[in-house]
A and B are shown apart, each in its own frame.
Chain A
Amino acid sequence: MTNSIKEIAGADFILAIGTNTTESHPIISLQVKKAKRNGATLVVADPRRTEIAELSDIHMQLKSGSDIALLNAMANVIIAEEIWNKEFVSTRTEDFEALKATVAKYTPEYAEGLTGIPADVIREVARGYAKANNATILYTMGITQHICGTHNVFAVANLAMLCGQIGKPSSGVNPLRGQNNVQGACDMGALPNVYTGYQAVTVEDNRGKFAKAWNVGELPAKPGLTVGEMMEAAAEGKVKGMYIMGENPVLSDPDAHHVVHSLEKLDFLVVQDIFLTETAALADVVLPAASFAEKDGTFSNTERRVQRVRKAIDPVGNARADWQIICDVATAMGYTMSYASASEIFDEIASLTPSYAGISYERLEQGGIQWPCPNSGHAGTMYLHKDKFVRGLGKFNPVEYIPPAEQPDNEFPFVLSTGRRHFHYHTGTMTQRTGTLEVHYGTEFLEINPADAAAINVTEGEMIKVKSRRGEVAVQARLTDIVPQGMVFTSFHFPEVAINKLTNSARDPVAKIPELKVCAVKIEKAS
């Protein structure tokens, strides 16, 4: 996020795109509700009439995957009506002309055809956003181009820069991270192309710096494979060994059959986790890890706040903290890795990562710190891009709308979208085993519009089969007009409804993020 969570309450215009904040980020939604109570306008863009859409002043029920058309059309209106922030654009940005050229064809009328949102509504929202004192954009998945960083969603950033709605309190571009430490995993360089703090592996100086710190002669210069490419390479026999820590790609990644096939082809798979997940079951060796309650460390939340995780109990059984296991494996491979504590590892991170340089466990005792925090006297950074962007001038990166790779057709007439439920989390590994959450919300449903259900003669609670070109699952139908006609929705939290058997692994060419939000399915009665 460019801003802090608490700043959301200070916005007078909130555009929430594809985020059912009340369900997936309940505590962040409290700030949205606070802003609303203070009189803010809330606009929600989501194909489903979600809880937050119910709270909104304007709900733009756009077609799945048409977000860029909408955002470009807003930019089009703002430029056509001359309500863009000319001072901001001229002093803080470059390549405005490129944006102008690209969005020229995205008239509200043209976008209406792509998004299904009336042209006048697009105009109204565009004006509201441009004229607000403090407008903020919240979004989660769906329109992502890069996984990390702050310049990731170009269409969103273009709009924010065009209106100068960035670089000040309560105004910015705010991706809400789904998992507790996605931000941290990215910050720490758990990515194929960067070390910690987004220092590129292709830059020789960076390689030299890390090689020296890590006491090795040379580090690889070629960016590595992304998760999707790893699975491809494993299927082709090019990747022969994998080490998976705390992830469950068999359930979380698209096209589950393909993932299983890839992992089975490996010569050797080691999985480190707290449970025997669907992925761990395929491993040659499973290493039992400690849960968050059993170890020290830090997480970085979606607003870049580094906060402590504290050991409350000893690891259960013979489990060990992940960091200790990694040290053990490295040492057994002939590279001595040994730390007395998590704090010592953190100090090494701080010494190699400018944005974390001023943070230490000692300081974190007083509370979390938001990076960038360049030195120990620095209080941390509430919001980014105050007087300039990281690269100096903010660059407009115009983007074109591309329709989803798989469109509904006669054979597969419904669009399947997947997402999260309030009472569960990710692949359910944890939330299915709490003694509380799964008791309260124990069965998953497929949401289907009553009109669609009537047309294929499906009734509430009936078991149905959902099929895509890649697989099928059985699930109970829930008739609800939360979903528009032509769309069905479910979550990926329930192993028995392994919805990612159906989803499409077609990936965005830049970010390599799979198209989990849209795939074409058909629905059949189970019996």
Chain B
Amino acid sequence: MAEVTLTIDGLQVTVAKGTTVLEAARQAGVFIPTFCHDPELTRFGACRMCIVEIPGMRNLPASCVTEAAEGMVVYTESEAVIEARKTILELMLANHPMDCLTCGKNGECSLQDYAYLYGVKTESFGGEKHAYPLENDNPFIVRDMNKCILCGKCVRACAEIQGKNIVDFAYRGFDAKITPAMDVPLSASECVFCGNCVAVCPVGALQEKGLRSAARTWEVKKVKTTCPYCGTGCSFELNVKDNKVVGVTSCDGDVNGRALCVKGRFGYGFIHHPDRLTNPLIKKNGKFVESSWEEAIGLVAAKLSAIKANYGPDSLAVLSSARCTNEENYLMQKFTRAVLGTNSIDHCARL
């Protein structure tokens, strides 16, 4: 494969031809801020946050759409670059609601991070602000278009990851916004609430309803695990606060990348549902009575042993579970064969 060598902030970097300056910088460990770029989505080049200085080029090119060339010299933090980035941030903040104190994305927001990094405060522009109503009418996603920075990632995620094309840019200039066709809420569109747009939104414009109202971003412990629903085996992170699962976020899964479906992303509520069984139950006179583990296990062991002794092992049968782990299925068949002494074990496989 053809390669090119360029210099980024004094570092010599060799990359495959066709690599963007941004990717080359990342490979070399040089940080460049971005809003609209996402390695999984098509190049967009709209926010201009990733601009760099390349002597010989007019203006400051956006590094996410500029291909690295042989002998190219790149400055990622020159004075002009920093000035331009500050201006971009000031313009964004000028019509941003600035309710970070109560925003669910506080602490996981690129706008906050970069404003902090470049010391941009809000006074500079006191521009006109949007007053879009909060879209809060579905159980999964909250949309606050006042916070949208028009990076277009959700549009591309919906089209390119989800293959749905639910949301798109509409209107022009100051009125430009992201919306489903005919400017209806998601609930009135064909949206399947996969939340894959939420997963890529760099700010608080798209938020997971349950998660963001249950915990602040820094309060959660994230535990990577495998989805308990269909056989695809998507990976995600359980967000845990005070020993409770408060939400699900994407991580980089072997099978699914960051994509999830509505069940995986928003279907975790059963874990703490009040109907969960919390103690063994023994039926006495037709009614369930809570019992200790000792009593319940003792009773199960005695009953199964008695049936085996009186009627033989094949009078017992076991259903294992397509929803339990491999380890549990293994132990269940071991138990059935080695302890009960029968091969009558199956599970309700409806594929």
Contact = CB atoms under 8 A, between A and B. Distances in A.
Nearest to A423: B262
B98 interface: no
Interface in A291-331: 291-295, 297-303, 305-314, 316-323, 325-330
A201 B341 CA distance: 12
A302 B226 CA distance: 13
B351 A182 contact: yes
A289 B321 CA distance: 12
Interface in B192-209: 192-194, 209
B188 to A, nearest CB: 13
Contacts of A393: none
B262 to A, nearest CB: 6
B238 A293 contact: yes
A240 B245 contact: no
Given A267-B307, A273-B277, A305-B254, A27 B259 contact: yes
Contacts of A198: none
A25 B278 contact: no
B134 interface: no
B325 interface: yes
A425 B300 contact: no
A227 B319 contact: yes
A319 B276 CA distance: 9
A216 interface: yes
A293 B303 contact: no
B18 interface: no
Contacts of B267: 425, 430-431, 434, 436-437
Interface string B59-71: 0000000000000
Interface stretch (A89-97, A189-197, A403-411): A189-197
B277 A288 contact: yes
A308 B238 CA distance: 13
Interface in B317-351: 317-339, 341-351
Contacts of A230: 317, 319, 344, 346
A286 B281 contact: yes
Given A185-B349, A440-B193, A245 B226 contact: no
Interface residues of B, number: 107
Given A247-B319, A286-B280, A219 B233 contact: no
Interface in B135-169: 138-140, 161-163
Contact of A247 (B243, B271, B279, B347): B347
A422 B300 contact: no
Nearest to B279: A318
A220 B337 contact: yes
A302 B346 contact: no
B233 A307 contact: yes
A180 B317 contact: no
A367 B254 contact: yes
Given A178-B350, A214-B338, A239 B316 contact: yes
Contacts of B260: 27
Contacts of B235: 307
B343 A287 contact: no
Contact of A422 (B192, B223, B245, B301): B192
A27 B329 contact: no
A516 B316 CA distance: 26
Interface in B102-151: 138-140
A201 B270 CA distance: 38
B315 interface: yes
A332 interface: yes
Interface in A236-259: 238-249, 252-253
A495 B106 CA distance: 41
Most buried by A among B272, B280, B331: B331
B28 interface: no
Contacts of B319: 227, 230, 242-245, 247, 249
B173 interface: no
B327 A342 contact: yes
B231 A176 contact: yes
A30 B238 contact: no
Interface stretch (A59-67, A70-78, A139-147, A162-170): A139-147
Majority SS at the chain B contact face: mixed
Nearest to B301: A332
B275 A275 contact: yes
A506 interface: no
Interface string A209-222: 01100111001101
Contact of B325 (A184, A253, A316): A184
B325 A295 contact: yes
Contact of B278 (A268, A302, A316): A316
B343 A312 contact: no
B234 interface: yes
A425 B231 CA distance: 11
Contacts of B138: 440
A84 to B, nearest CB: 28
A326 B350 contact: no
Contacts of B331: 323, 326-327, 330, 337, 345
A274 interface: yes
Interface stretch (B9-17, B177-185, B290-298): B290-298
B330 A189 contact: yes
Contacts of A333: 301, 304-305, 339
A177 interface: yes
Interface string A15-38: 000000000111111100110010
A245 B331 CA distance: 12
Contacts of A461: none
B325 A224 contact: no
Contact of A180 (B273, B298, B323, B328): B323
Given A26-B192, A227-B319, A288 B280 contact: yes
A58 interface: no
B270 A326 contact: no
Nearest to A253: B348
A463 interface: no
A16 to B, nearest CB: 14
Contacts of A252: 348, 350
B349 to A, nearest CB: 5
A193 B313 CA distance: 16
Interface in A509-525: 513, 516
Contacts of A88: none
Contacts of B221: 312
Nearest to B235: A307
A297 B327 contact: yes
B303 A268 contact: yes
B191 to A, nearest CB: 11
Contact of B223 (A178, A195, A310, A367): A310
Most-contacted residue by chain A among B138, B267, B296, B350 (CB, 10 A): B350
A179 interface: yes
B330 A345 contact: yes
Contact of A326 (B307, B316, B326, B328): B328
Contacts of A299: 226, 233, 325-326
Interface of A: 5-6, 24-30, 33-34, 37, 140-141, 144, 147-148, 175-193, 195-196, 201, 210-211, 214-216, 219-220, 222-227, 230, 233-234, 238-249, 252-253, 267-268, 270, 273-276, 280, 283-289, 291-295, 297-303, 305-314, 316-323, 325-330, 332-335, 337, 342, 345-346, 348-349, 367-368, 422-426, 429-431, 433-437, 439-440, 513, 516
19 contacts: A25-B232, A26-B261, A182-B231, A188-B329, A246-B323, A247-B323, A275-B273, A283-B283, A285-B300, A313-B245, A318-B280, A328-B297, A329-B300, A337-B334, A430-B229, A433-B275, A437-B139, A437-B262, A440-B139
Given A191-B333, A434-B269, 10 more contacts: A183-B231, A191-B346, A220-B314, A243-B304, A245-B328, A286-B277, A287-B300, A294-B271, A316-B271, A316-B278
Give the top 3 A-B pairs by smallest Cβ distance, nearest first: A317-B278, A301-B233, A297-B325
